[in-house]
Amino acid sequence: MAHRISAAFRAVGVPHILVTDLTDSPTATTRLPADADCTALRPPLLLRTPEAPQGAVFYPEAGYALIAGTAAFMAAAVPEGADAARAHFGRYARSLAERHPTLATVAAAHPGADPGDAR
C-alpha cells in the first residue's frame, strides 16, 4: 500500500506531502518529501497534497486506507481501477476476518463492482 501511496503523490508532481497525525488532539501536520519512503508511516494519518486538492489518503488503522483524488492521482494509487480494488479489498477483508474484524465492516461499506465481493 505504501508504494501505491507514494506513486499517487509523485504522479501529481507535488514537492511534498502534508502528513497529519491523528493520534492526538490537537493534531500535528508535517511535511514529507513526495519521493520519501512511506512504508514507515503508521496510522491514524491523513496524507494530502499541499496546494490545490489533488489527492488525499485517509489511513485510519492498519490494513486499509481510503483514497480520493484527481484522475492522475487515482490512476497511480489504484491502477486496476476503484471497483477492482474494492472487490479485491472485500476478498482480503474476508481472509483476515478473524484477526481484523473491522475490515469486513469497511469492505461492506465500500463494495466493489460485484457486491458479493464485499460480504
Q: Which three cell numbers stand for residue 55?
A: 489527492
Edge-to-edge strands of the sheet including 28-33? Answer: 28-33, 16-21, 45-48, 55-61, 64-69
- The C-alpha cell of 36 is what? 520519501
Residue 117: pLDDT over 70: no
Say how far apart CA 96 and CA 64 lie, in whole Å.
12
User: Which of 96, 47, 6 has its CA nearest to residue 107?
Assistant: 96
Kindly report whether the global pTM for this prediction surpasses the value 0.85.
no
Tens digits of residue pLDDT in 41-72: 899 999 999 987 899 999 998 888 899 999 99
**Residue of higher predicted confidence among 75 and 39:** 75
| Structure-model confidence comparison of residues 35 and 16, the more confident one | 16
**Other beta carbons less than 10 A from residue 47's beta carbon:** 22
How confident is the model at residue 118, as a pLDDT? 45
pLDDT of residue 40: 85
The mean per-residue pLDDT over the stretch 78-84 comes to 91
Between 34 and 79, where is the model more confident? Answer: 79
Q: 82-115: per-residue pLDDT in tens?
A: 889 988 889 989 999 898 888 888 888 888 765 4
Q: Is pLDDT larger for residue 57 or for residue 24?
A: 57
